Copies of this chain bind each other. A is one copy, B any other.
Amino acid sequence: MKQGKLAVAVAIVVLLVAGAALATTTVSKDVTDTSVQEENVKCVNCHLKENNAMVQQWKNSPHAAAQDGQVGCYNCHAAEPGEPAAYMHEGALIRTLQSPRDCAFCHEQEVQQMEKSHHATAGQIMASLDNVLGEIVCSMESKAGAASGCWQCHGSVVKVLKGSNGKALLNENQAVMFDPATYPNSGIGRLNPDGTQGSCTACHGRHSFRSSVARQPENCGKCHLGPDHPQMEAYKESKHGIAYYTAVRERGMNAMNILKSGKWVLGKDYYTAPTCATCHMGATLKSDGSVTANTHNVGDRISWNLRAPISVKLNRVIFADGDEADIPGDIAPQVGQERKYKKYVMTNGEWSKVDAVGEVIEVKSWEMRREDMQVVCNQCHGVQVIGNFYKQFDELVVTYNEKFAKPTKKLYEMAKKEGLVSGSLFHTKLGWQWWEMWHHEGRRARHGASKMAPDYTHWHGLYDVAENFYHEFLPELMRLAAEHDKLPLFEKAVDDILAKPEHQWWKEGFDASVMKSIRDEQKTRYKQ
| In the complex with contacts A527-B329, A528-B309, A127-B432 CB distance below 8 A | no
In the complex, which residues 18-45 of chain A have their Cβ closer than 8 Å to any Cβ of chain B? none
A455 within 8 A of B: yes
A272–B59 CA distance with the chains assembled, in angstroms: 11
What is the oligomeric copy number?
A: 3
Query: Mask for A408-438, Cβ within 8 A of B = 1, else 0?
Result: 0100000000000001101101001000000
| In the complex with contacts A49-B287, A137-B466, A380-B57 CB distance below 8 A | yes
Which residue on chain B has the smallest CB distance to residue A256? B249
B389 adjacent to A525 (CB under 8 Å): no
B133 adjacent to A463 (CB under 8 Å): yes
A136–B504 CA distance with the chains assembled, in angstroms: 9
A495 within 8 A of B: no
Neighbouring B residues of A403 by C-beta, 8 Å: 139-140
Across the interface, A459 reaches (CB within 8 A) one of B208, B226, B242, B308, namely: B226
A178 adjacent to B52 (CB under 8 Å): no
A520 within 8 A of B: yes
Shortest A302–chain B CB gap in Å is 14
Across the interface, A253 reaches (CB within 8 A) one of B56, B228, B270, B460, namely: B56
Shortest A221–chain B CB gap in Å is 6
Query: Mask for A239-251, Cβ within 8 A of B = 1, else 0?
Result: 1011101101111
A328 adjacent to B137 (CB under 8 Å): no
B96 adjacent to A382 (CB under 8 Å): yes
A440–B354 CA distance with the chains assembled, in angstroms: 41
Neighbouring B residues of A17 by C-beta, 8 Å: none
A384 adjacent to B226 (CB under 8 Å): no
Neighbouring B residues of A465 by C-beta, 8 Å: 138
A180–B384 CA distance with the chains assembled, in angstroms: 9
